[in-house]
Structure 1
Amino acid sequence: MLKQGLISVLLWTLTLGHAHAADTLQDYRLGGGDLIHLTVFQNPDFTGDRRVSESGDITVPLVGAVRVGNLTVQEAEEKVAEKLSEGKFVVKPQVSIVPIQMKSAQISVMGLVGKPGRYQLDARFTRLTDAISMAGGVVQTAPTVGLNGGDRVILKGTRDGQPFTKVVDLSDIFVRGLDELDLPVTGGDTLYVARAPQYYVYGEVQRPGVYKIERDMTVRQALAQAGGLTPRGSQNGARIFRKANNGVESELQPGLDEPLQDNDTLYFKQSVF
């Protein structure tokens, strides 16, 4: 029973992945250099791999050149079917097109990655983590220099003809195992790896500096990350300086279980005793 359950989960995962891939491919617009596999059902003479020319054409036996450049996969299927029907080569043709190499598709990867820039999608199905890997992975830096490696990826593009934005926490994919957040990317997408949330700590602590805010981090945990108090420090003397969205700074007297926010400045005073 356990084995059958594991097989069922695996099949469901694979099906879900292929469903995401199919949705993404339907949005993709063909362009010069792409390699596609053309299938005309029950007509093997028309079936085979076709390279899209720089002018956007593919060559179909008997039909000749068919312009598919800048068409979606579905539109290209309809265009080829129309040409086959017009020439009376096939009665009620059923056409399927599957991109194999998407040479014309490019994505932009920016932010805290090793090699920011534009990258070509050569694979039929590229996930968010694949794209980050192509760009050299997430930059990891020492916390004391004021720049912490990115946790969050902002994905912007177009899906179903509408603007699309998604913020993904990489730790949710790798630590929590939420593979459904490892989204497929398509041509024209932009990925931005944002700086991780961070806080500043100074005063009577062992290691003042700039540190990354972990998930649900509290003042107590921040103090431990900074090495604890010096012999002169006081937990009761903790202060948080926090800026609101309008730029106004407020001073808080937090308890040790107070959660931290991005760009908080945490200060520990000297004990009066």
Structure 2
Amino acid sequence: MMSRHPVCLALAAALAVAGCAPRIEAPEFAVERTAPYQLASGDKLRVIVFGQDNLSNIYAVDGSGRISMPLIGAVEAQGRSTQQLERAIEARLRAGYLREPKVSVEVDAYRPFFVLGEVTNSGQFPFVNGMTMQTAVAIAGGFTPRGQRNYAEVTRLMDGQLVTGTVPITYPVRPGDTIVIKERWF
């Protein structure tokens, strides 16, 4: 007759290990999936003012969250969508410079993202549209042998605040994200 002691011990160990695994949830990020992209420092923008070649150029969002354009000076870009920035530039140009300005703003280069923790090459990397956490890890040279392969911790700027959450490895990356791959225990 088989002893129940080893079976109970194995069951207790399995429950203990399962209790150590983090719950993968990030409800604070759920709303942001559908929200328009918000500009921030490090983004490079292609601004086209139709009929005004001397104003059309690529502008970088500086550390204070602004772009600086000829004639109108600094325009706040931080936290705005490209459409909101278009309207702000049009309003500034309309106030004494152009009669009916038409402006187009698109992101020329997104701000970089960062990967830290149990990856081969931690660091800063250029953002590519459609990336997932797993793609970001691949860009960082892959997992180390101890890297947790099922989830990642991500810190993201949302509404002017840094928010950190645990997400599945298939979760989408946004520009400016800081991804941390934790060490696994087993």
TM-score using structure 2 length: 0.59
- Give, in angstroms, the shift of residue 115 of structure 1: 1.4
- Give, in angstroms, the shift of residue 38 of structure 1: 1.9
Match of 2:6 in 1: none
How many Å separate the matches in 2 of 1:193 and 1:44?
48
Choose which of 168, 171, 174 in structure 2 pairs with 1:182: 171
Match of 1:196 in 2: 184
Q: Is the 8 A contact 1:35 1:52 kept in 2?
A: yes
How many Å separate the matches in 2 of 1:81 and 1:157?
30
Max radius of gyration: which structure?
Answer: 1
5+ residue gaps, structure 1, are 1-18, 141-147, 171-180, 199-273
Match of 1:37 in 2: 46
> Which whole-Å deviations, capped at 9, do the CAs of 1:120-150 have from their partners, x for residues lacking one?
435466442332223221113xxxxxxx332
Match status 1:81 vs 2:90: yes
The DSSP-based 3-state class of the residue aligned with 2:52 is helix
- Give, in angstroms, the shift of residue 45 of structure 1: 3.0
Q: % of aligned pairs identical? A: 17
TM-score using structure 1 length: 0.43
How many Å separate the matches in 1 of 2:39 and 2:67?
16
The DSSP-based 3-state class of the residue aligned with 2:134 is helix
- Give, in angstroms, the shift of residue 30 of structure 1: 3.8
Match status 1:132 vs 2:121: no
The DSSP-based 3-state class of the residue aligned with 2:155 is strand
Choose which of 49, 52, 66 in structure 1 pairs with 2:60: 52
How many Å separate the matches in 2 of 1:154 and 1:29?
21
Q: Is the 8 A contact 2:38 2:79 kept in 1?
A: no
How many Å separate the matches in 2 of 1:83 and 1:29?
20
Q: How many residues align?
A: 149
Q: Is the 8 A contact 2:72 2:93 kept in 1?
A: no
Q: Is the 8 A contact 1:109 1:192 kept in 2?
A: yes
> Which whole-Å deviations, capped at 9, do the CAs of 1:89-117 have from their partners, x for residues lacking one?
143x5544221113xx3433222100123
Match of 2:167 in 1: 167
Structure showing greater relative contact order (alpha-carbon pairs closer than 8 Å, 6 or more residues apart): 2
Distance change >3 Å, CA 126–CA 36, structure 1 → 2: farther
Match of 2:106 in 1: 98
The DSSP-based 3-state class of the residue aligned with 1:27 is coil
Q: Aligned partner of 1:186: which letter?
A: P
Choose between structure 1 and 2: higher strand proportion: 1
Distance change >3 Å, CA 153–CA 71, structure 1 → 2: closer
Q: Is the 8 A contact 2:67 2:76 kept in 1?
A: yes
Distance change >3 Å, CA 59–CA 123, structure 1 → 2: farther
Distance change >3 Å, CA 97–CA 67, structure 1 → 2: same
Distance change >3 Å, CA 126–CA 72, structure 1 → 2: farther
Distance change >3 Å, CA 166–CA 96, structure 1 → 2: farther
Choose which of 28, 31, 54 in structure 1 pairs with 2:39: 28
Q: Aligned partner of 2:40: which letter?
A: R
Distance change >3 Å, CA 85–CA 160, structure 1 → 2: same
Distance change >3 Å, CA 149–CA 94, structure 1 → 2: same
Q: Is the 8 A contact 2:39 2:81 kept in 1?
A: yes
Q: Is the 8 A contact 1:39 1:96 kept in 2?
A: yes
